[in-house]
Amino acid sequence: MPFITAMPFLFFAPFILFFIISRRVKIKDTLFVLLICAVSAGLSDGTSSILKTLFERLRPCHAIDGVNLLVGCSESFSFPSNHASNAFALAGALTYFFKKEEIKNVKFLNLSLFFISALIAFSRVYVGVHYPSDVIFGALIGTLASLAVLTGYKWAKKNIETDRLKTLFILTTVALTILRFFYINTGLLDLSPDEAHYWDWSRRLDLSYYSKGPMMAYLMALTTGLMGSSVFAVRFFAPVFLALTSVIVYKLTKEMSGNELPAVTAGLLIHTTPLFAAYGVLMTIDSPFVFFWALALYLFWKAIQQGTGVRDSGLVNNLQKYPQTPNPKYWLLLGITIGLGLLTKYTMAFFYACAFLFIVFSKEQRHWLKEKEPYIALAISLTVFSPVIIWNAGQNWVTLKHTAGQAHISEEIKISFKSFFEFLGSQAGVLTPLLFAAVIYGALKAYKSRSLFTVHRSLFLFCFWAPILGFFILKSIQAKVEANWATPAYLTAFIAFSLFFLNRDTIKKGTKIFLILAVTMAFSVTLISHYTDILNLPSKKDPTSRLKGWKELGQETGKIYNDLSLRGDVFVFSDSYQVTSELAFYTPGRPRTYCVNLGRRMNQYDIWGGFDKLTGKNAIFVKIGAYDLPAGLKGTFNSFERQEFIAKRNDKVLREYSIFKCYGFKGLPPSGTESY
């Protein structure tokens, strides 16, 4: 049994060899069969690994004394068994091809395959590393994984000849989404400070929060409530939203052009560019926001197509006349979607402005200013958004003050070419330079090329990217603008770019080479950004370094917490919401954490407060960098001790922290809010 459990897949080699010899299968076909087997096993293995982190069931060799352990006891969790799931996944795939190729003695071979799989599963229990239920559910997962892969294979084989591009788009989207789930589960990247902050919101649900609406908190409360508080649960919706966004972009482009190539290109750009690909593995505010924006775009397009008296068929210069029949369904759904987008990120308000510009400047659509449907949609969106208004009314409108501060409204008008060029550089960076240049050029040409586009369609696309990007370019002259603020503009810019370059019969060779090079560069950067360790970059130059080192800090803080707890109650705090949020998630036991205001900008922790109830307790204060205890805290404790902690991963220094053991909290002096 130890040999079987150590070399399980060696037993499948004779079956594969027999399959090749008996049918004299070509090398190409053999590789394809092996690929299907590998995909089946990979799907089952990844799924089982995810379930392990969710259930966190200890192996019997760790949980039960006296287990007859015949092999090493892995540190990974027990439920379900990867050995069992992978064995049954391989057996399921091979069984299909044995039957498909009409191999002799197929029943005997198939029974033998499942006997070997069952033997491998049983061996895991026999050697003491799994419970029976682990291997039973593992076998079920493996069987379902092979069925899923084979179903996809048969569907693709049926559709690839008649609808090649669409089939490839669907397969690519599904494959990338699954890979993103597996990537998240590897734990290579810790939660970003913002992700940890939104997760902390989800522990205290409310109508709204200081800087954003409640959508992120609600989504994370749903996933962590069902799956527990883990990195996978926090980020669960990120791959889902990105996949749905790409499908919507594909569908909108297809309806506009009637052509698969630009539709597939626009949809896949969502997956392959660094800017959007990040939203597929990180549950930032933009993950759901971009989805709601894309859905609103599609619904608005459908709404104006219904009842204008003129419909863009998607063909070049072809506007079709038809009776005016407004469909309130699309306007109703549009209002709900915009409202949900506003609950996610207030930048959704740009959608109102873009839609208004389009209606005003479009001769065919101007009649909507006199129709009731747009105003009903507006009212619905504000109704959905109303919890934020209600919450702010009771909080002295702090969100408005924060938003005004972020927009630098109170600052005097000044010109800063540094921030201007930084913003342009950031846009080229998040798309990659060649693709950024190609997208902007293509989107502009799409607006100007009346020979290729109807005015109706080109104006629609232009109004939903140019005003947004133009606004933030102008804003960058006054103050710093973050790279992701203009994100929604690129949804329609991608569509316009794809339609301009690809919605034609022929493409010049030079243009084709440039586009392939631009997309390849973008995809390469996206791929490498998921595994920056291969570049061996210093932490200061590694763009993912801010997503590492937090787990190590939490573990170190947990050790100190346990030590101080022997002397009485302990609380954990910092002077930045980023560190406070990360400590809340990564400190074992996930205690409530606090954020002291020593002259910084206000944040959600100030609204929650709580320092007034901590008098007399000991504390752990954490600050990034090598610093002494801030002057504002020295008089608030009887005494304190400082220690340095350097977070490392694979012998690479990630970040330095100053951790203070503070004794006898006296309370904080009254302080006001200096900035929002």
**What does the pLDDT look like over 526-549, one tens digit per residue?**
999 999 888 888 888 888 888 999
- In this predicted structure, the answer to whether residue 451 has a pLDDT above a threshold of 70 is no
Mean pLDDT of 6-18: 79
pLDDT tens digits along 57-115: 999 888 888 777 878 888 889 999 999 999 999 999 988 888 876 666 778 888 888 88
Residue 196's nearest CA partner among 621, 582, 664 is 582
Mean pLDDT of 396-414: 77
pLDDT higher than 60, residue 351: yes
Instruction: Return the percentage of the chain with pLDDT > 70, whole number.
Output: 94
Which residue did the predictor score with more confidence, 162 or 263?
Answer: 263
Is the pLDDT confidence value at 326 over 70? no
- The model's pLDDT over 479-492, given as tens digits with 9 standing for 90+, comes to 889 999 999 999 99
pLDDT for the residue numbered 411 = 61
pLDDT at 314 over 70: no
Higher pLDDT residue, 417 or 497?
497
Give me the pLDDT at residue 302, please: 94
CA distances from 403 to 388, 398, 407, 465 (A): 13, 9, 6, 22
Q: What pLDDT shows up at residue 11?
A: 81
Q: How far apart are CA 105 and CA 101, in angstroms?
A: 12
Reported as a pLDDT band with limits 50, 70 and 90, residue 317 is: very low
Residue with tokens 């400047």: 361
Task: Name the residue ranges covered by the structural domains of the chain.
Answer: 2-159, 181-529, 549-665
Half-sphere exposure of 453 (CA within 13 A, CB side): 27
- For residue 661, what are the CA distances in angstroms to 219, 249, 629, 639, 640? 35, 52, 10, 8, 5
What stretch of H or E contains 437? helix 433-448
CA–CA distance, 471 with 567 (Å, rounded to integer) = 56
Average pLDDT over residues 272-282: 95
For residue 343, what are the β-bridge partners?
none
- Res 324 pLDDT > 80: no
Listed in sequence order, the residues at least 6 apart from 305 whose beta carbon sits closer than 8 Å to its beta carbon are: 311, 312
Nearest to 290 by CA among 270, 263, 272: 270
Instruction: Give the per-residue pLDDT at 263.
Output: 96
pLDDT, residue 456, reads: 79
Whether residue 378 contacts residue 442, with contact meaning beta carbons closer than 8 Å, is answered with no
Express each pLDDT in 106-135 by its tens digit: 788 888 888 889 989 888 888 888 999 999
Pair 84, 124: CB distance under 8 Å: yes
Q: What percent of the chain has pLDDT over 90?
A: 68
The whole-model pTM stands at 0.91
Asked whether residue 459 carries a pLDDT value surpassing 60, the answer given is: yes
What average pLDDT score do residues 348-364 get?
Answer: 95
Residue by residue, DSSP assigns 336-359 as HHHHHHHHH-GGGGHHHHHHHHHH
455 — pLDDT class (breaks 50, 70, 90): low
Strand partners for 642: 660
Q: Where are the alpha helices (DSSP H) in 128-259?
A: 132-159, 164-186, 193-202, 215-227, 231-234, 237-257
Tell me how crowded residue 550 is: count the other CB atoms within 10 A of its CB.
Answer: 25
> Mean pLDDT highest for which of 14-28, 450-464, 637-651?
637-651
Taking the C-alpha atoms of residue 5 and residue 71, their distance in angstroms, rounded to an integer, is 9
pLDDT value of position 449: 78
Calculate the dihedral angle through the C-alpha atoms of 635, 636, 638, 643, rounding to the nearest 10 degrees. -90
Instruction: Quick: pLDDT tens for 129-163.
Output: 899 999 999 999 999 999 999 999 999 988 988 89
Residue 220 CA to residue 588 CA, distance in Å, equals: 19
**In this structure, are residues 395 and 607 in contact, taking their beta carbons and an 8 Å threshold?**
yes
Least confident among 196-200, 452-456, 576-580, 629-633: 452-456
User: Helix/strand/coil (H, E, C) string of 475-524?
Assistant: HHHHCCCCCCCCCCHHHHHHHHHHHHHHCCCCCCHHHHHHHHHHHHHHHH
Place of tokens 């070509």: 26
Rounded Cα distance, 339 and 189, in Å: 32
Q: Does the pLDDT value for residue 322 go beyond 60?
A: no
Identity of the amino acid at 413: I
pLDDT tops 70 at residue 311: no
DSSP lists the bridge partners of residue 594 as 573
